[in-house]
Structure 1
Amino acid sequence: MRQLYLNQAALSARATTVIRDADNQSRYLLVGKWGLRADVLTVYLIDGSLEAEVKQESLGLLPRFRLLYHRQPVGHVSKTFGVIREVLFVRGLNWVIMGNLNSGRFRIFHGRELIANIAPVSADGQTIALEVDQPDHEALVVCLAAILDRWAKHQQRGLNPLKNRGWAPGLSSEVTPFITQEKNLDRRY
């Protein structure tokens, strides 16, 4: 299995991300953005040839993504209600992704065969290691790692809605609650 490394901060910044191997040689480029319907992330070889794409087909709570390999559709991935959050299915490829969005560790299987491991390797969690079984699967695993990183970021943002909106009691000096009824109660007695 070959090890590939990508910078998680570059995924979040919507910048071009360079995917390197264990010898620090550049192998792939991840280019594009998403957030709107029909947005695309594309994986290129360093020589510029197109390897794989992930296209966002729908928005909302359960966005759906289409995977393309050499411009041919090979599968779909989406979150589903009623299924354990730690298990995702890649329909078309018959891959199962098992892991945890909070820790960022995932394993991808086809039946009992291990396709890839995805895990953060640096202490700050900014570098992700992809361990992939075959060179033909590498570009698709890079696409899936980008999707999983996006879902993990959205899940972490959704954990505390007051904190993420910029207001929480005691954290903001802009809004200070005051009680006028206490003063009136004191006057009565």
Structure 2
Amino acid sequence: MADYFIQEKSFGNANTLVKDQEGHPLFTLVGRTGTKDDWLTLYRMNGENVASVKQVRWPFMRRFEIYEGSQKVGTLQRFLSWPSDFYFVQQLHWVVYGNLAQHRYKIQHFNQEIMSMDKTQLLAGGHYVLHVTHEKDAPVCICLAAILDYWNYHYNRGSLFYHNDTLELNANYQTFSKK
């Protein structure tokens, strides 16, 4: 198991360093998210591209394609966000769940934990700490954490299309059933 530390801030739209527990930089995350075809790319400190994320917009929802090097390994989409947040990474069969607003969540493959994320305080200030079970999964996990951070800070959770549709259907059903 390895731990990765990221300075607490919105890290999806700026250059971000990912450090080990001794404070040595391991990766840098470069790019931005927010519009269709935006990319976030994770590089090792030697300049090697290890993972990236591309934002894809589908009608009524956003998806993110995840790449390891240049090979697509999965697509992240929101599955459910009430009462907890649930996401699914197709192709990898990973489920992401937890409390996005508190930056506490887990990634699992069936009953195996892939990663957990939490907050911690270090001398340099607040940090997110990613506990990754297998180091080979770290680049993809860091990219997923950046996407979830983006959704936490930039997505209006009250205006989800399918929630509004469901509320309207329920309201119509209640009106219809009262008559």
Per the normalisation by structure 1, the TM-score is 0.75
Give the Cα separation in 1 of the matches to 2:83 and 2:130. Answer: 23
Report the equivalent of 1:145.
145
Aligned AA (2:141): V
Bigger fraction of residues in strand:
2
Offset, 1:98: 1.3
Give the Cα separation in 1 of the matches to 2:61 and 2:126. Answer: 26
Give the direction of change, closer, same or farther, for the CA distance of 1:40–1:58 in structure 2 (3 Å limit).
Answer: same
Which entry has the higher C-alpha Rg, 1 or 2?
1
Report the equivalent of 1:103.
102
| 1:10–1:17 Cα contact (<8 Å) kept | no
RMSD after superposition: 2.4
Give the direction of change, closer, same or farther, for the CA distance of 1:10–1:160 in structure 2 (3 Å limit).
Answer: closer
Offset, 1:104: 1.1
Report the equivalent of 1:4.
4
Aligned AA (2:153): K
Q: How does 1:1-189 map to 2 (within 5 A)?
A: 1-9=1-9, 11=11, 14-58=13-57, 62-80=61-79, 85-122=84-121, 126-155=126-155, 158=156
Give the direction of change, closer, same or farther, for the CA distance of 1:96–1:84 in structure 2 (3 Å limit).
Answer: farther
| 2:73–2:92 Cα contact (<8 Å) kept | yes
Question: What SS is found at the alignment partner of 2:101?
Answer: coil
Per the normalisation by structure 2, the TM-score is 0.79
Give the Cα separation in 2 of the matches to 1:82 and 1:25. Answer: 35
Give the direction of change, closer, same or farther, for the CA distance of 1:68–1:93 in structure 2 (3 Å limit).
Answer: same
Give the Cα separation in 1 of the matches to 2:81 and 2:15. Answer: 35
Identity of aligned residues (%): 29
| 1:88–1:97 Cα contact (<8 Å) kept | yes
Instruction: Provide structure 2 residue ranges, at least 5 long, that are not aligned to the other structure.
Output: 160-179
Question: What SS is found at the alignment partner of 2:153?
Answer: helix
Give the direction of change, closer, same or farther, for the CA distance of 1:72–1:83 in structure 2 (3 Å limit).
Answer: farther
Offset, 1:96: 0.6
Give the Cα separation in 2 of the matches to 1:159 and 1:95. Answer: 22
